[in-house]
Amino acid sequence: MDISKLHPEDTAAIDELWEMWRLGVERDTASPKLRTYSKTIFLAQLGNIHPDEHNEFRVARVDGRIVGFVQIGVPLRDNKHAAHIHGTVHPEYRRRGIGTALLTQATQSSRDQGRTLQTSNTLETLPDGPLCDHAGRDFLLHHGFAVGLPMRLRALRLSDSEGEIERELLDESWPKAEGYELVQWTGATPAEHVDGAAALASRLMSDVPQGDLDFEEVIFDAERYLRKESVDFQSGWDFTCTYVRHVESGELVAHSVIAVSSDHPSVGNQWITLVHPDHRGHRLGMIVKVENHRLLRRTKPEVTWIKTGNAESNEHMVAINEQLGFTELCRYIAFQREI
pLDDT digits (tens, 9 = 90+) for 81-124: 999 999 999 989 999 999 999 999 999 999 999 999 999 999 99
Predicted structure pTM score:
0.94
In whole angstroms, what separates CA 94 from the centre of its chain?
A: 26
Please provide residue 117's backbone torsions phi and psi, each rounded to the nearest 5 degrees. Answer: -135, 135
Contact 220/202 with Cβ under 8 angstroms?
A: yes
The residues, ordered by sequence, that sit 6+ positions from 168 with a Cβ below 8 Å of its Cβ are none
pLDDT grade for 335, boundaries at 50, 70 and 90: very high
Residue 32 has pLDDT above 90, yes or no: no
Domains of the chain, by residue range, sit at 2-144, 155-332
Q: What is the DSSP string of 53-95?
A: EEEEEEEEEETTEEEEEEEEEEESSS-TTEEEEEEEE-GGGTT
Of the two residues 25 and 155, the one the predictor is more confident about is 155
DSSP 3-state of 25 = helix
Q: Give the range with max mean pLDDT: 157-166, 207-216, 249-258.
A: 249-258
Could you please state the CATH topology (level 3) that the domain comprising 2-144 is classified under: Aminopeptidase (3.40.630)
CATH code that applies to domain 155-332: 3.40.630.30
What pLDDT is attached to residue 207? 80
Q: Do domains 2-144 and 155-332 have the same CATH topology?
A: yes
Nearest to 211 by CA among 270, 272, 147, 116: 147
Strands 82-89 and 53-62: unpaired
| 134-190: pLDDT as tens digits | 999 999 999 999 999 999 999 999 999 988 999 999 999 999 999 999 999 999 999
